[in-house]
Amino acid sequence: MTRILLAVDGSGQDVSSVEWLGKLFGDEAATVEITVLHVAHLRMPGPSSIRLGFVPRLPSREDLEGIESQTRIEADEIVNSAKEDLENYGFMVNTMVEWGPTPDVIIEVAEANNSDMIAMGRHGAGRVTDLIAGSVSGRVIRRAGIPVLILRAEPPE
């Protein structure tokens, strides 16, 4: 049995990644176990919500709990959508939502699950961020002890 960790982020890339895996494994999909992982992050109101002369208040505990709850709901929707699509190809699928620095979590989960390969899209946070910190996919490639498959954004033909 082949074990693949598929990292998803809720972008349109996720659908293409599923389609690529379906095309790559075809009739062998039933021999592949895929763990769909989404690494969640709390999204706080950013500088765009700050007006000249307005000092935002720190979020309350209730605010943070609400943000965390909503983030968890969205994360579950992301992994469950990919799971459903993968199961339609015949893959065996598990889902996980974890919190933390994305590259670190991807590598830790792959190791803990004894994954044979990590599959992920190449999204990028932007050219400046990529230059300063490196892309998530680039950091995973450099640090992973197993093969990393970077899937194209365009679906297969």
Is residue 44 predicted with pLDDT exceeding 70? no
For 67-107, how does the pLDDT look when each residue is reduced to its tens digit (9 = 90+)?
Answer: 888 999 999 999 999 999 999 999 999 999 999 999 999 99
Average pLDDT of the segment spanning 128-150:
79
Contact 123, 136 (CB under 8 A): yes
Pairwise CA distance, residues 95 & 76, whole Å: 9
pLDDT confidence of residue 140? 94
Region of residue 108 (phi > 0: left; psi between -120 and 50: alpha; otherwise: beta) = alpha
User: 95-104, 107-116, 128-137: lowest mean pLDDT where?
Assistant: 128-137
Q: Hey, what domains does the chain have and what are their CATH numbers?
A: 2-151 (3.40.50.620)
Q: How far is CA 99 from CA 2, 50, 52, 75, 106, in A?
A: 25, 27, 33, 10, 10
Q: Mean pLDDT for the chain?
A: 86
Q: What is the pLDDT of residue 129?
A: 47
pLDDT in tens, 53-71: 555 667 788 878 888 889 9
Report d(CA 24, CA 30) in Å as an integer.
13
Nearest CA to 14 out of 96, 109, 86, 76 is that of 86
